[in-house]
């Protein structure tokens, strides 16, 4: 693990630009992610979220601007950046024919880590996959696969992780399972940058939210700060109606759901 004991942010992005031929996707993107925090990069389809994540994780070159990750420059210190991060892409990278445990052992071996079996068992435990560990991934639910995918990206304990749309395509229960795994990561000090199109995901998980729109970050702040951007709503006394998600989850009756709902909000600034 390559960590620098400094107070500088884990990720610093300044003036980032990227075009695909005539298509200007990023037109000067600026944001920071503090160490040990979760930033949600929010944007519609095609806003440039994956493009930004690819540049931050050294898979793609920027046209202009600077990006520092764990204190290293992505353009000139790509190897150090790669040692500091892991990336879970938009589409799961697990091997269906192997078991969950075999997938984890494989990654640990590829990274030349000692004791791959123990690393695999620890991660299975952290992601509540111990019981399913010996089963082929082809039998896993979408939420389990996604959790395994995230677990695989944590082999070797990188201090910074990128999650590109970690819950797209999952049902509400699967999303809650992934949210819980991500919250635990941040609680243990990992810096998380996640992209999402879901407002509720950003509300649930992020310490800060940055909205990418037309190539720029148009707002960046805590949920409470973002809410203050709108004038206060008129006070009306109405019964609070459950959301469709409340109804769905009550009927499906997931234990994990109740555990998550009962958990207090992570930040004091979160006014929900
Ligand atoms: N390799 C490429 N060549 C040309 N255009 C590309 C390429 N990759 C992405 N684009 C275009 O750049 C824009 C931004 O794409 P990107 O994948 O970064 O968006 P996104 O915010 O991740 O979207 P989504 O929510 O659908 O994942 C889109 O219009 C996309 O079609
Ligand atoms: Mg994308």
pLDDT of residue 269: 43
Among all bound ligands, the one having the nearest atom to the CA of 41 is 1
* Residue 25 near ligand 1, beta carbon < 6 Å: yes
Ligand 1, atom nearest to 50 Cα: 22
223 CA distance to ligand 2 middle (Å): 22
In CATH terms, is domain 11-257 a member of 3.30.465.10? no
46 CA distance to ligand 2 middle (Å): 7
Asked if residue 71 lies in contact with residue 238, where contact means CB atoms within 8 angstroms, the answer is no
Among all bound ligands, the one having the nearest atom to the CA of 197 is 1
pLDDT of residue 252: 67
Encode the chain (272 residues) as per-residue pLDDT tens digits. Answer: 555 555 789 999 999 999 999 999 999 999 999 999 999 999 888 999 999 999 999 999 999 999 999 999 999 999 999 999 988 876 667 888 999 999 999 999 988 899 999 999 999 998 889 999 999 999 998 888 988 998 898 888 899 999 999 888 888 888 888 898 899 888 989 999 999 988 889 888 999 999 999 999 998 999 888 888 777 766 767 777 777 777 767 776 655 444 444 333 344 444 44
DSSP secondary structure of 145-210: HHHHHHHHHTTT--SEEEEESTTTT--HHHHHHHHHHHHHHHHTT-EEEEEES-HHHHHHH-SEEE
* Residue 47 near ligand 1, beta carbon < 6 Å: yes
Among all bound ligands, the one having the nearest atom to the CA of 54 is 1
């Amino acid at each position: 693990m390559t960590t620098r004991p400094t107070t500088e942010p884990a990720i610093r992005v300044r003036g980032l630009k990227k075009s695909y031929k005539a298509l200007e996707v990023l037109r000067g993107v600026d944001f920071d992610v503090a160490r040990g925090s979760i930033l949600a990069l929010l944007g519609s389809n095609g806003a440039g979220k994956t493009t930004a994540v690819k540049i931050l994780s050294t898979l793609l070159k920027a046209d202009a601007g600077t990006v520092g990750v764990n204190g290293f420059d992505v353009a000139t210190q790509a190897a150090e950046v790669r040692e500091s991060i892991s990336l879970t892409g938009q589409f799961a990278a697990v091997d269906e024919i192997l078991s969950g445990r075999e997938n984890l052992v494989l990654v640990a071996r590829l990274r030349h880590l000692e004791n791959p079996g123990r690393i695999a068992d620890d991660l299975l435990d952290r992601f509540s996959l111990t019981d399913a560990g010996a089963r082929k991934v082809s039998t896993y639910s979408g939420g389990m696969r996604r959790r395994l995918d995230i677990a695989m990206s944590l082999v070797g304990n990188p201090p910074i992780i990128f999650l590109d749309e970690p819950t797209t395509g999952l049902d509400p229960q699967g999303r809650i399972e992934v949210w819980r795994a991500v919250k635990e990561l941040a609680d243990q000090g990992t810096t998380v940058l996640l992209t999402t199109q879901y407002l509720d995901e950003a509300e649930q998980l992020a310490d800060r939210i940055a909205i990418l729109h037309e190539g720029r970050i148009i707002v960046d702040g805590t949920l409470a700060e973002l809410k203050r951007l709108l004038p206060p709503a008129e006070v009306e006394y109405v019964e609070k109606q459950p959301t469709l998600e409340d109804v769905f989850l009550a009927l499906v009756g997931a234990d994990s759901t109740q555990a998550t709902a009962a958990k207090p909000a992570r930040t004091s600034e979160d006014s929900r």
